[in-house]
Amino acid sequence: MNASVPLHAERRAASLLAPLLAHARHATPALRAGDVELDYPALLARAATHADALRAAGVVAGDVVALPAVRSAETIAAILACVARGAAYLPLDLDFPAARLAAMLDDARPRCLYGDADPRLPPGTVRVEPPRQAQAPPLRDDVAGELAYVLFTSGSTGRPKGVAMRSAAVAALIDWHRSHPRLGRAARTLQFAPLGFDVSFQEIFSTFAGGGCLVLPGEAERRDPYALLALLARERIERLFLPYVGLQALAEAVAAGGMLPHALHDVVTAGEQLRVTPAIRALFAALPEAVLHNHYGPTETHVVTAHELAGDPAAWPDLPPIGTPLPHVRVRVVDAALAPLADGAEGELLLGGDCLAAGYIRRPELTAERFVERDGERWYRSGDRARIGADGVLDCHGRLDDQLKIDGFRVEPAEIEAVLCRHPAVAEAIVVAADGAGGRRLVAHVVARDARIDAVALAADLQAHCAASLADYLVPRAVVTHAALPLTASGKIDRRALAGSPATVPLRWLDGESLQNQLLDLWKQLLGVDHLDVEANLFDHGARSLLVVRALTELRRHGHVLSVAQAYEHPTVAAQARALAVQPAPVADAAGERARGAAQRAAFARFGPRAGGVR
């Protein structure tokens, strides 16, 4: 080797921008958001304007730039601009409590906050207003930044932790996409993931690298699977990334009469164990050309393994494997002492190779705990229990720690427990997941300092206390007060006894009752409560968009159609019953049936009339 050649010149990391700039002269659609459509030259011109504004604001390679996580063409162009400046972008969900946003900014210390004025933006960081119109020199790929983004995830120490992702690692992932026979093709792709989730990076950069068109849904379409299905059909979406819960909701919506997204040929799911339910089988039976990709990877590595399900969905396993490692990834299954285990043995999955984040931003002790060195290589301890089969295919068998997934969100119960224990009335707190007809929800079990405290008032107080510093998905949906928490034989708190065993609970429908009573019973099951007033605001009692979708799908199965927007407009059982009473019940009508098409009908016949009914 010629000693004068620097090492990095030998193996130059793949560039994130180069594949995109290759389309700079292609006047083909790059991005659609409502009425806005940008072709590649127009998108790159907007990105160049933002890059110039960031340069003028003093942003240099290695900086962090905070961006409001608003799904818009401008935000996507600003993300490209950050990459071009070599800066890592930090998406801020402005619906988070101010305390959480402040903690994120405190760790990430961005050079600036790049966005329009908004009262929810935390003070203390220089804000740079994006220019409306401006001429700027063309976007160039000549500044390399070590980090691509900083994404925060639930932290077990009671504070969210910021994963600082290396540009080279995500460039290798996008490179893999480009060489993939299906995922490398130019495709009309939906940008569904919130920008605070790593999947959004994959959606954006893999679509542009392939020369496809990224389609941004409106918020109403994102949370209403029936409206989403209509968008998928109207926009002829070909590729879709969805968390498992989203995929299941979409498949149930198709089973309940939603439009079949005919153009779809690749569906990528990630984030938790994929379960192939009858509704999912029926959806793919109706889309025989479509492939379901199961991607696995924590935020600390992004996607590291992939498995494809194609052909007859009747033959797909209920719990598919997570597949084989991507070419730039190394995996190892180890025992508690981190010693490698033989193939076939179950242990913790270590992830290595060119997929690793730099670590947690400004949290060296946490970084050292999870990113370890063994045999001269750096590995991330995933905390996932896995096994490598004789064919080299990996199966994931859940967690070795208490980390949970609730509707696709990663949750460290310890983060919530730390917040609960900061409340003066709480002596002890444990947070577990409980499964019910409404899906999986977080339940806090607490011991009060004063045993005479009013449990109902304490529960409301603790929920408000959590909502003041935690993201909404981390706020327990129920609080149970105990005189003492149950203990295991070894004297530790018995989480399992509190959580109960994971179970799928079917929904019950009260035949022969009034519509209001049927609705009341449905909502009681979904909210997991014994009592509910017909005039109570469902959203004050824990209703969230996925529960609304479950309610609407169940209603459709029984011939009653309510839109998500109507459910929000009529937030009580009584109001929803009144809204339904003034409408005809069109679900099982001839037009709806015709719209489903022959393939869809055949799929449902095969997987049963209640194909969507199994959760």
- Whichever of 273 and 563 has its CB closer to ligand AMP, that residue is 273
Quick one: which of 273, 545, 563, 566 contacts ligand AMP (CB under 6 A)? Answer: 273
Q: What share of the chain is helix, strand, coil (3-state, %, to 5)?
A: 35, 25, 40
Residue 588 in contact with residue 558, Cβ under 8 Å?
no
Q: How far is the CB of 294 from ligand AMP (least distance, A)?
A: 5
Helices (H), 190-326: 198-209, 219-223, 225-234, 244-255, 278-286
- Whichever of 51 and 356 has its CB closer to ligand AMP, that residue is 356
Supply 529's token pair. Answer: 């409560």
- Whichever of 410 and 570 has its CB closer to ligand AMP, that residue is 410
Q: How far is the CB of 450 from ligand AMP (least distance, A)?
A: 38
- Whichever of 267 and 270 has its CB closer to ligand AMP, that residue is 270
According to DSSP, the residues that pair with 66 across neighbouring strands are: 90, 113
- Whichever of 191 and 202 has its CB closer to ligand AMP, that residue is 202
Quick one: which of 299, 525, 572, 576 contacts ligand AMP (CB under 6 A)? Answer: 299
* Selected range binding ligand AMP among 63-71, 89-97, 272-280, 509-517, rule: CB under 6 A: 272-280
Q: List all residues 6 or more positions away from 566 whose beta carbon is below 8 Å from its beta carbon.
A: 576, 579
Q: How far is the CB of 315 from ligand AMP (least distance, A)?
A: 19
Amino acid letter, residue 185: R
- Taking the C-alpha atoms of residue 189 and residue 235, their distance in angstroms, rounded to an integer, is 9
Supply 574's token pair. Answer: 């009584």
* Selected range binding ligand AMP among 87-95, 268-276, 420-428, 440-448, rule: CB under 6 A: 268-276
State how far the alpha carbon of 116 is from the alpha carbons of 36, 106, 120, in Å. 19, 21, 11
Q: How far is the CB of 386 from ligand AMP (least distance, A)?
A: 9
Q: How far is the CB of 487 from ligand AMP (least distance, A)?
A: 27
Bridge-based pairing of strands 324-325 and 305-309 is antiparallel
Q: How far is the CB of 558 from ligand AMP (least distance, A)?
A: 33
Q: What is the DSSP secondary structure assignment for residue 156, as one 8-state letter?
A: T
- Whichever of 169 and 567 has its CB closer to ligand AMP, that residue is 169
- Taking the C-alpha atoms of residue 114 and residue 130, their distance in angstroms, rounded to an integer, is 7
* Selected range binding ligand AMP among 48-56, 291-299, 424-432, 566-574, rule: CB under 6 A: 291-299
- Taking the C-alpha atoms of residue 198 and residue 91, their distance in angstroms, rounded to an integer, is 11
Footprint of ligand AMP on residues 70-99 (CB under 6 A)?
none
Taking residue 142's Cβ as centre, other Cβ atoms within 10 Å add up to 8
Q: How far is the CB of 465 from ligand AMP (least distance, A)?
A: 25
Quick one: which of 265, 410, 423, 610 contacts ligand AMP (CB under 6 A)? Answer: 410
State how far the alpha carbon of 557 is from the alpha carbons of 554, 570, 581, 587, in Å. 5, 20, 16, 8
Quick one: which of 52, 384, 417, 554 contacts ligand AMP (CB under 6 A)? Answer: 384
Q: What is the DSSP secondary structure assignment for residue 340, as one 8-state letter?
A: B
- Taking the C-alpha atoms of residue 130 and residue 403, their distance in angstroms, rounded to an integer, is 38
State how far the alpha carbon of 592 is from the alpha carbons of 235, 559, 588, in Å. 20, 11, 6
Q: How far is the CB of 199 from ligand AMP (least distance, A)?
A: 8
Q: How far is the CB of 375 from ligand AMP (least distance, A)?
A: 22
- Taking the C-alpha atoms of residue 34 and residue 129, their distance in angstroms, rounded to an integer, is 23
Q: How many residues bind ligand AMP (CB under 6 A)?
A: 18
Quick one: which of 382, 469, 525, 576 contacts ligand AMP (CB under 6 A)? Answer: 382
Quick one: which of 326, 396, 507, 522 contacts ligand AMP (CB under 6 A)? Answer: 396
Taking residue 451's Cβ as centre, other Cβ atoms within 10 Å add up to 11
- Whichever of 20 and 304 has its CB closer to ligand AMP, that residue is 304
Footprint of ligand AMP on residues 144-173 (CB under 6 A)?
153
| Number of residues that this document lists for the chain | 615
Quick one: which of 184, 258, 271, 542 contacts ligand AMP (CB under 6 A)? Answer: 271
Footprint of ligand AMP on residues 311-350 (CB under 6 A)?
322
Q: How far is the CB of 295 from ligand AMP (least distance, A)?
A: 6
State how far the alpha carbon of 138 is from the alpha carbons of 26, 43, 57, 135, 150, in Å. 15, 11, 18, 9, 26
In terms of Cβ atoms closer than 10 Å to its own Cβ (0-12, 13-18, 19+), residue 418 is: middle
Quick one: which of 241, 296, 523, 604 contacts ligand AMP (CB under 6 A)? Answer: 296
Footprint of ligand AMP on residues 555-594 (CB under 6 A)?
none
- Whichever of 238 and 407 has its CB closer to ligand AMP, that residue is 407
| Residue showing tokens 């006894």 | 497
* Selected range binding ligand AMP among 269-277, 363-371, 479-487, 488-496, rule: CB under 6 A: 269-277
Question: Integer distance in angstroms from the first to the last C-alpha of the chain?
Answer: 58
Quick one: which of 108, 136, 274, 507 contacts ligand AMP (CB under 6 A)? Answer: 274
- The footprint of ligand AMP (CB under 6 A) covers 153, 270-274, 294-296, 298-299, 322, 382, 384, 396, 399, 405, 410
